[in-house]
Amino acid sequence: MQSLKEKYLLFKAKSFNDAEAYGQIYDRYIERIYRFIFFKVSNQSDAEDIASETFLKVWQYIKEGQPVKNLNALLYSVARNLVIDHYRLQVKKREYEEPLIADIKNISGIAEMIDFKTDEGKILKALKSLKDEYGEVIILRFFDDLSVGETAKIIGKSQNNTRVLAHRALGALRKMLEENMPA
């Protein structure tokens, strides 16, 4: 749900073509959008490029006077579509780069949620190994703290399906971690 401040900034950006207001929107969302994209592409420069393109496309959308019911959902949807486009255009697979643990918030919360004691690096590796749909819902729901409704809009599923998907994703993550633990 958008705050009053976000609604005001969106109004200014839309009605007055106010780049400064849009800059404040950018500042509010860039970390979350970048993190979401980075988990998908695992390459810092690609993630930066896609994040920039995301905000550029949303700015153009706003300037055209298009209706924006939920800015959060719009940003994530555009980012998600650009990631899909990125993979469609990608000829060869990029090298995997381990993200900086300091850049990732809530990872210890994921370990607690699945009731599994392991280091953050193993959780990240397991998260990257999950099927895309599971990794995406975990990032949106538990790293970015989006509501079920917001997550559902972004991934194009009903709220009930999103709840079930999140539950299954956490179960799959836990199972993967258990299978990879030394006996």
Q: What is the per-residue pLDDT across 114-136, written as a single tens digit (0 to 9) for each?
A: 656 666 677 778 888 888 899 88
Could you please report the per-residue DSSP string of 81-93? HHHHHHHHH--SP
Rounded-to-integer distance, Cα 149 and Cα 79, Å: 18
Q: How far apart are the first and last CA of the chain?
A: 45
Q: What is the pLDDT of residue 117?
A: 65
Tally helices (H) and strands (E) across the chain. Answer: 9, 0
Q: Give residue 111's pLDDT band: very low, low, confident or very high (50, 70, 90).
A: low
Query: Phi and psi dihedrals of 5, rounded to 5?
Result: -60, -45
Least confident of 54-63, 86-95, 129-138: 86-95
The model's pLDDT over 135-147, given as tens digits with 9 standing for 90+, comes to 889 888 888 888 9
- Give me 140's structure tokens: 């949106």
Q: Give residue 29's pLDDT band: very low, low, confident or very high (50, 70, 90).
A: very high
Residues in the chain, overall count: 183
Radius of gyration of the chain (CA): 17
pLDDT at 91 over 60: no
Structural domains for the chain: 1-97 (1.10.1740.10), 103-183 (1.10.10.10)
Rounded-to-integer distance, Cα 67 and Cα 10, Å: 10
- The string over 144-181, giving b where at least 16 C-beta atoms fall within 10 Å of a residue's C-beta and e elsewhere, is bebebebbbbbbebeeeebbebbeebbebbbebbeeee
Q: Give residue 180's pLDDT band: very low, low, confident or very high (50, 70, 90).
A: confident
